[in-house]
Amino acid sequence: MLQRPVPWPNGAKVACAITLDMDADSLVHIHHGAGAGDKLSATSMLRYGPEVAIPRILDTYRRFGLTQSFFMPAWCVENHPKAVEAIVKDGHEIGHHGYIHEAPNSLSAAQEHDWMCRSIEIIERHTGQRPRGNRSPLYHMSSKTPGFLAQEGFVYDSSLMGDEVPYVLETGKGRIMELPVSWATDDWPPYVHAPDLDYMFAVQAPERAMEVFMAEFEALRACPGGLWVGVWHPFVSGRLSRWQRVEKMIEYMLNTGDVWFATLEEIAAHVAMVEKSGEYAPRVDHLPYHAENQVPAELQGKV
């Protein structure tokens, strides 16, 4: 059972969002810096996302009548404008995903806020709208990230893994709705084999990957009121055999009659609406969880 099931629109049992992180070749640059130019194979694999997969994905969404959420580094927004233009033209959401896929928790507070603001400006300039949602690259939120998001007017984050339903992050600078994710619905573990990026997983067949993704979905159908979020990447799940399997998944989900497909912005807005009406009371996490080191000195490093 779910402790706080959300009343979804039209009696849906599960709110579903296929979110696509269009990292493209930002990954080879953040990993290799000046040496990125000599990583042609990795670059070609990553550019497959905006060049080949995005048109395929958008065609699928048009056929099924879906509007979904994309997250992308601001560097990708600047360097792949045709893909961005096509996504925006079809009415999809574009959220914040760092500048060039840097880890926020590797930056000073001043650096993190500065690059967040630069990235917001780039996204707004290219799409005509400030991003309302955030996904931290590789989920690497810092203790300062939620406060900066609230300060800059973000509505939600989708980087944490603390529930199967939305919950609230309360910070000293305001509150953010958390739309939680899970490694179980991320396409990185079953599919990514990229030596130049230091990821070498055993590549799974689409049916095997989908078995894991759908196990999460069916569990939520059996316990209505939850949120299923696919965290996928165009250069990964957008490959032909994998995306063909995604199309079958979408068709199956729609045919159950139990699903509300929506953007994460729409999901966050719905949760805020039912909270305001008194129909729903989300869990509230007050951040930071711990402001000081919790490990006694003699136990430091004893892992």
Mean of per-residue pLDDT scores for the chain: 98
Q: Which CATH class is domain 9-283?
A: alpha beta
Strands of the chain (E only): list them.
14-21, 69-72, 93-96, 133-134, 156-157, 167-171, 174-178, 193-194, 199-200, 226-232, 259-261, 284-286
Residues 6+ apart with CB under 8 A from 160: 139, 141, 169, 178, 180, 181
Q: Per the omega criterion (within 30 degrees of 0), is the bond before 50 cis?
A: no
> What does the block give as tokens for 229?
């979020």
Mean pLDDT of 76-92: 98
> What does the block give as tokens for 159?
């980087």
228 three-class SS: strand
The packing angle between helices 240-256 and 206-222, to 10°, is 20
pTM tops 0.85, yes or no:
yes
* 8 contacts 225 by C-beta, under 8 angstroms: yes
pLDDT band at 26 (very low <50, low <70, confident <90, very high): very high
Mean pLDDT of 268-272: 98
